[in-house]
């Protein structure tokens, strides 16, 4: 196998603010793996909490691992990279490139190689933390883009009254539209604020709450879960399949991200573990182009909820190959995951 690396800056169309800060863009690492004239493509969106804060750091980790003889299977390569200390976000690029390669060699889309169909529920388009006046401008743009579901980021450091004002602005901006509404606090609430806000949001038609408490506060989940007003999904608290048994009795579902778990290989384990614990599943994304989004979309049939929308907030997206139709991010029928860099 031959490997090549390329870093591309991905500027956001609109800055994304969550409880932990604001993101205007990222330098993402793209990896190609070529064997017998066939090439697979993967992507890393860097993140300090994912073990590689920059594209250069992720590339260095991958180059060091790839300098050694590789095991034969994708699963063995994934395990070897984890043992070697490759960050999950960097491993995600290698893993999805390998799945893309094998599917291309087989002449199949990744979803068919995995025995899945291209079925997908509507994907949530994200409304970042913003003042109400900005929300009133932003929401109509998302609706015009075809959104059938909105994920509203709350948990602002300004407190729950600011959260309420922002969410009220979202409701005011809907007009006659009736999208599904979800909320992600990104761990920005205390236990008391979470309990209060979940009741308040339930009265306003929200489907569920994602990561109400910060990672590391899982011990408080039983208190929140017992009389919860909304289903609870964990994101930051769930990185690998091995995390799930510790909190499974006190949540309704988990949100996986390829950058958190190291790609498709571990994503399949997370889904299997969640289902074994009778939990629902969701897939989300970080600051990714259509390349990583396509890899996630290949797994769409496995998820009750989908948040694969980061490529829709890029100016421009350096890749193409995905379809966004009827509010859904859909995998392609082309061999592999179907996405390719434009130049």
The confidence score (pLDDT) of residue 213 equals 98
pLDDT for position 90: 98
Is there a contact between 112 and 337 (Cβ–Cβ < 8 Å)?
no
Regions of the chain where pLDDT drops below 50: none
- Cβ atoms within 10 Å of 305's Cβ, excluding its own: 24
126: number of Cβ within 10 Å: 24
pLDDT at residue 72, rounded to an integer: 87
Q: What is the mean pLDDT of the chain?
A: 97
Q: What pLDDT was estimated at residue 66?
A: 97
Predicted pLDDT of residue 343: 84
CA distance 253 to 304: 9
Contact 173, 201 (CB under 8 A): no
Whether the pTM exceeds 0.85: the reply is yes
What does the pLDDT read at residue 51?
Answer: 87
The reported pLDDT for the residue numbered 19 is 86
Name all domains of the chain by residue range, CATH numbers in brackets: 2-107 (3.30.390.10), 113-341 (3.20.20.120)
SS3 label, residue 132: helix
Please tell me the distance from the alpha carbon of residue 244 to that of residue 280, in angstroms, as a whole number.
Answer: 12
pLDDT tens digits, 219-274: 999 999 999 999 999 999 999 999 999 999 999 999 999 999 999 999 999 999 99
Measure CA 149 to chain center. 15
Burial level of 286, CB count in 10 A (0-12/13-18/19+)? buried
Radius of gyration of the chain (CA): 19
């Amino acid at each position: 196998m031959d490997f090549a690396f390329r870093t591309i800056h991905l500027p956001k169309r609109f800055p994304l603010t969550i409880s932990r800060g604001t993101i205007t863009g990222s330098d993402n690492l793209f990896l190609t793996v070529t064997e017998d004239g066939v090439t697979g493509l993967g992507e890393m969106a860097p993140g300090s909490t994912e073990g590689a804060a920059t594209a250069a750091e992720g590339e260095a980790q991958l180059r060091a691992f790839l300098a050694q003889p590789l095991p034969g299977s994708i699963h063995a390569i994934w395990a070897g990279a984890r043992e070697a200390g490759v960050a999950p976000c960097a491993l995600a690029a290698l893993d999805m490139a390998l799945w893309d390669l094998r599917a291309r060699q087989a002449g199949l889309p990744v979803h068919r190689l995995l025995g899945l169909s291209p079925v997908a529920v509507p994907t949530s388009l994200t409304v970042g933390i913003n003042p109400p006046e900005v929300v009133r401008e932003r929401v109509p743009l998302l609706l015009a883009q075809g959104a059938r579901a909105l994920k509203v980021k709350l948990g602002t450091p300004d407190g729950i009254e600011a959260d309420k004002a922002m969410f009220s602005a979202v409701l005011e901006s809907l007009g006659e539209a009736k999208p599904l509404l979800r909320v992600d606090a990104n761990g920005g609430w205390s236990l008391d604020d979470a309990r209060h806000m979940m009741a308040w949001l339930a009265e306003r038609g929200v489907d569920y709450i994602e990561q109400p408490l910060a990672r590391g506060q899982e011990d408080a989940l039983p208190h929140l879960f017992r009389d919860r007003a909304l289903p609870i999904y964990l994101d930051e608290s769930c990185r690998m399949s091995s995390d799930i048994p510790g909190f499974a009795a006190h949540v309704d579902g988990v949100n996986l991200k390829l950058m958190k778990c190291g790609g498709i290989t571990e994503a399949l384990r997370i889904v299997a573990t969640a289902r074994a614990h009778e939990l629902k599943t969701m897939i989300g994304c970080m600051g990714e182009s259509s390349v990583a989004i396509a890899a996630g979309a290949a797994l769409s049939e496995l998820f009750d909820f989908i948040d694969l929308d980061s490529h829709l907030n890029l100016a421009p997206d350096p890749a193409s190959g995905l379809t966004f139709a009827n509010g859904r991010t859909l995998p392609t029928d082309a061999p592999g995951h179907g996405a390719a860099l434009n130049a």
